[in-house]
Chains A and B, each alone.
Chain A
Amino acid sequence: MIYVIDHNDSFTHNVVHQFALFDNVECDNYDKINENKIRQASTIILSPGPGNPKNYPATSKIYKKFKRKKKIIGICLGFQHILFCEGAKIIEQKKIYHGFQSKVKVVSNKSLFKKGQIFKVGRYHSLKLKEPFKSNNFEITMRCLNSKIAMAFENNKEKIYGFQFHPESFLTINGNILIKKILSA
């Protein structure tokens, strides 16, 4: 079972439907997290949502508690949330991407995806990862082709993954393939 933590977002149920193609999915809002369900889950998803990771301490608590015990995947705010818990700074950016289709490129040979591969993806983010960022086992694996902003990380050792873009958006081509690969890793 996959457990999705929603952050009152208007895209979370697209995420739920996408993951439900591969496994049973349970979804609760961040103010109603059910740890019993999490214990039964193989994977925890941190959903997109408004605001800044620091606004959601309940989610940080879950991340720290279940890190290394469960596979954890973050999307958009979730991506930022994981990095925030790993000590990163999440900052405003000059150019804002809402409803934007961009090309992202696989930039690392430690990625599950082939280095140099390009994906067309949908973006909805005001904030971004402040770089340089360094943390053990975390590798930035995709970047925006134009702006070079960090678009995905992988921590294959501890099975923690994140996408700054939205694999579930209709603007993302082959989003299901991305998710399938991460889930089977």
Chain B
Amino acid sequence: MNKLNHLKEIHKSGKAYIIYKSKKGFNLYTDFSKKIILSNKNIKSFLLKKNKKKSKNTDLFIGFFGYELLNNLIDIKVPKQKNSNFPKGIFYKPEKKIKLSNNFTYDLRNFQSGNFKININKKNYTKIFNKFKKKIKSGETYQIKICTKYKTHSKINPLDFFSRLSKTNLAPEAFMIKDDNYSIISCSPENLITKEGTDISTKPIAGTVKKTKYLNRTKALNYFRKNLKETKEHNMIVDMERNDLSRICKVGSVKLSKQKIVEEYKDLFHYVSLIKGKLKKNINNFEIIKAMMPGGSVIGCPKINTLNLLNNQEKENRNIYTGSFGYIKFNGDMRFNIIIRSILNFKNTSEISVASGVVVDSNANHEFNENFIKAKALIDLFK
């Protein structure tokens, strides 16, 4: 049986499975022998648990941490919000791994959905925006990202959506989870943690521009360099990620290995930096997750004050948005992304969250529209 048929077979069988982008294609994980629902109580023991030495390529836990769980992990409370009771985090132990190529097609298009509704209208968005701008002027935050959420009733086939999404946007941190009562489809572009042995790196993105006939790599770089807002946001994130790595890395080992370069993807250019470090002795994965998550580039800066400002403002739980998806191998190696550009399907509802940054010289109208453009790429899958 070829691999594509294999995937279709697994999908049809109704088994839970996960697909995660690899360098050359995708990896599919299935035949889960364990499913761990995370809470504030068990997350520490989950991360500190010593597993038997890695011997098979399925000796890992794969899954996600939601936003609220990551806040609680660094002692930040999220006030009572409108909540769909989606789990705070779930990890799976797979017994089977299958490699897939980049080109897999599963075009079924048998979905039902209504029209997406936004949870904050332009008027309210502008109010929040101006309030945060004042907070920037008084120095309480240097940059803050307002999140808006689009929702609709729906019944979709996640594999159909993921295969169509991968055709238009082959993102380096894309993933899909299909389980009995929920699914996630994501074209996340951003790696938050890559840990191999004592080497750790993070690769923040600040700045994205769509490819056109006229916009090549060099022109994209010029565009980003001339754009003062993108440059300042990017600088701030580089220093913040250097800081987060410095919490857990040896003195003098944190290096900016790629500084503000352009990476080319199928339809987009991203403005990225790569920051690397060597872990201190005896640092465990619990400490690493606490130092790095939630990923700063999608929150704002400085992290703690900014998270508190956001949490006191937001009326609705973020669920997976700005959490992290990835895996922890039994030997301690990890790979985690930041969950953005994603669709969560739960209780016959699809939700898409997006955010964009308030810095002192940004404009409410522009950022509101920017949010919509980000969401539209995913909303268009429902057409």
Contact = CB atoms under 8 A, between A and B. Distances in A.
Interface string A21-65: 100000000000000000000000000011110000000000000
B154 interface: no
Interface in B235-294: 235-236, 238-240, 242-244, 246-247, 251-252, 254, 256, 259
A96 B139 CA distance: 9
A43 B318 CA distance: 43
Given A17-B252, A96-B360, A50 B243 contact: no
B139 A170 contact: no
Interface string B110-153: 00000000000000000000000000111111110000000000
Given A11-B302, A126-B136, A99 B243 contact: no
A170 to B, nearest CB: 6
Contact of A9 (B234, B242, B296, B302): B302
B137 A126 contact: yes
Given A10-B296, A13-B244, A98-B232, A170 B252 contact: no
A133 interface: no
Contacts of A141: none
B58 interface: no
Interface in B295-349: 296, 301-305
Interface string A121-137: 01011110000000000
Given A51-B138, A51-B305, A124-B142, A98 B242 contact: no
B302 A126 contact: no
A51 B140 contact: yes
Given A99-B233, A169-B239, A14 B246 contact: yes
A96 B136 contact: yes
B246 A13 contact: yes
Interface in B169-204: none
A125 B140 CA distance: 10
B137 A92 contact: yes
B305 A170 contact: no
B244 A124 contact: no
Contacts of B140: 50-51
Interface residues on B, range: 35 or more
A100 B232 contact: yes
A112 interface: no
Nearest to B234: A99
Contact of A50 (B141, B236, B240, B256): B141
Nearest to A27: B247
Given A10-B296, A16-B246, A126-B137, A99 B303 contact: no
Interface residues of A, number: 31
B305 A50 contact: yes
B139 A10 contact: no
B235 A122 contact: yes
A99 B244 CA distance: 17
A13 B296 contact: no
A8 interface: yes
B231 interface: yes
A166 B235 CA distance: 12
Interface string A158-185: 0000000010011100000000000000
A96 B239 contact: no
B359 interface: yes
A68 B136 CA distance: 34
- Could you say which of A10, A126, A127 has the most chain B C-beta atoms within 10 Å of its C-beta? A10
A42 B346 CA distance: 57
Nearest to B300: A10
A96 B137 contact: yes
A170 B254 CA distance: 11
Contacts of B303: 10
A9 B141 CA distance: 10
Interface of A: 8-14, 16-17, 20-21, 49-52, 77, 92, 96, 98-101, 122, 124-127, 166, 169-171
Given A10-B240, A77-B139, A124-B239, 12 more contacts: A9-B243, A10-B304, A11-B240, A14-B243, A20-B251, A50-B140, A92-B139, A96-B137, A98-B359, A125-B139, A169-B235, A170-B259
In the A-B complex, list the 4 residue pairs whose CB atoms are closest, starting with the nearest: A126-B139, A99-B232, A99-B235, A13-B246
30 contacts: A8-B305, A10-B243, A10-B301, A10-B302, A11-B239, A11-B240, A13-B244, A14-B239, A14-B242, A14-B243, A17-B254, A50-B139, A50-B302, A92-B139, A96-B136, A96-B137, A96-B360, A98-B232, A98-B359, A99-B233, A99-B234, A99-B359, A100-B232, A122-B235, A124-B236, A125-B139, A126-B139, A126-B142, A127-B139, A169-B239
